[in-house]
């Protein structure tokens, strides 16, 4: 299989020099508004999941939750901001696979934290990934698109929200798993999943990989078509679409998006317990579940221990994929 390397993160180089905030003891938590940081732009899978959590979780947490987008370096900037925040529970993170486990696995020397340096609270939701093209594109299957790329190497484009974002990595893995050099199609980076979607629908790029929550509107509206889905989840627009396994690329079945609530290191037990109870309540919250269904997410609340093991497994997966496919800086 072809090898490739990913660039370093100049955008976060200066963060390592900042001092760590000292933990604070939370009393009567929460007594004021809580900020939930998202490392990606508005309209993407992480942002949508965070806003659902803010809207419906506030009544269980007992305080207003405000979403703050801190964009940069495929989510690493926002993630590092929370790692260095005061550990009092008023700055929390909607953690995502790209900055939480992919960057530490594939670029450990330039990622300013390890995957397990945070106070892990719990998993919120997951989503399948799909490879999509514009609705009027001539390609119906992964094999069709691969044939077109082979015929015109370096001339077809795909959009991403950064080289180590899950959707950017998924397209690279899609090419690699199909036996193509990763530079046989050109990556066009955007700031968010929503912008990558617009690029496909508008014809700026020929294909892209998406979380289902991002792809669902375009698939439902008929402006975009899926040619492969990583796992056989039943969403509008993917009925009858080949799964990764059916397309002969079973390794891609492990590429899934996810959101989890985490905080800075040393988060007080009271804060962890309050957020754990909030997520447990959301598990049975009909409005929250319906919201996820509308955007193509799968609600999957897991406790602290289960979430830690889930994140560990994701990290180890990308370490293995990085080694086998020669991805990342190592």
Per-residue confidence (pLDDT) for residue 4, from 0 to 100? 37
Count up the domains in the chain and report the number.
Answer: 2
**85 and 161 both lie in a single domain:** no
Distances, alpha carbon 63 to alpha carbons 56, 88, 89, 274, 318, in Å: 11, 14, 12, 11, 36
Q: What share of residues in the chain are helix, strand, coil (percent, to 5)?
A: 45, 20, 35
Domain of 99, CATH number, reads 3.40.190.150
Per-residue pLDDT band at 20 (split at 50, 70, 90): very low
Residue that wins the pLDDT comparison between 18 and 77: 77
Q: What is the pLDDT of residues 135-158, one digit of tens each?
A: 999 999 999 999 999 999 999 999
**137 and 189 both lie in a single domain:** yes
Lowest-pLDDT choice from 11-25, 81-95, 159-173, 221-235? 11-25
**101 and 171 both lie in a single domain:** no
Per-residue confidence (pLDDT) for residue 15, from 0 to 100? 40
**Stated pTM of the model:** 0.77
**158 and 226 both lie in a single domain:** yes
**137 and 49 both lie in a single domain:** no
Full residue range of the structural domain in which residue 268 is found:
33-126+257-325
Per-residue confidence (pLDDT) for residue 256, from 0 to 100? 85
> Once rounded to an integer, what is the mean pLDDT over residues 227-249?
82
Per-residue confidence (pLDDT) for residue 270, from 0 to 100? 96
Per-residue confidence (pLDDT) for residue 233, from 0 to 100? 62
* Cα 65 to chain centroid, rounded: 21
Residue that wins the pLDDT comparison between 5 and 164: 164
Q: Report the candidate in 261, 309, 315, 303 with the shortest Cα–Cα distance to residue 113.
A: 315
């Amino acid at each position: 299989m072809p090898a490739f390397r990913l660039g370093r993160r100049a955008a976060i180089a200066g963060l390592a020099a900042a001092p760590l905030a000292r933990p604070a003891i939370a009393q009567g938590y929460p007594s004021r508004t809580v900020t939930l940081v998202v490392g990606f732009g508005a309209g993407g899978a992480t942002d949508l999941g965070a806003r659902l959590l803010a809207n419906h979780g506030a009544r269980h947490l007992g305080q207003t939750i405000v979403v703050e987008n801190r964009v940069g370096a495929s989510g690493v900037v926002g993630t590092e901001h929370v790692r260095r925040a005061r550990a009092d529970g008023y700055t929390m993170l909607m953690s995502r696979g790209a900055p939480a486990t992919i960057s530490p696995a594939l670029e450990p020397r330039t990622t300013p934290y390890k995957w397990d340096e945070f106070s892990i609270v719990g998993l919120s939701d997951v989503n399948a990934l799909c490879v999509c093209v514009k609705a009027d594109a001539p390609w119906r299957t992964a094999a069709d698109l691969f044939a077109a790329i082979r015929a015109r190497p370096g001339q077809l484009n795909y959009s991403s929200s950064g080289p180590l974002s899950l959707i950017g990595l998924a397209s690279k893995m899609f090419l690699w798993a199909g036996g193509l050099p990763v530079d046989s199609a050109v990556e066009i980076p955007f700031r968010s999943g929503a912008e990558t979607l617009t690029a496909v629908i508008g014809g700026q790029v020929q294909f892209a990989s998406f979380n289902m929550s991002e792809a669902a509107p375009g698939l439902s509206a008929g402006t975009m078509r899926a040619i492969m889905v990583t796992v056989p989840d039943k969403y509008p627009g993917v009925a009858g679409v080949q799964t990764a396994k059916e397309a002969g690329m079973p390794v891609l079945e492990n590429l899934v998006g996810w959101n989890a609530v985490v905080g800075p290191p040393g988060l007080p037990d009271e804060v962890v317990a309050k957020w754990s109870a909030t997520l447990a309540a959301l598990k049975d919250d009909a409005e929250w579940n319906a919201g996820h269904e509308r955007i193509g997410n799968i609600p999957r609340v897991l406790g602290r221990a289960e979430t830690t093991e889930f994140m560990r497994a994701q990290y180890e997966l990308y370490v293995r994929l990085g080694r086998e496919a020669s991805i990342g800086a190592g």
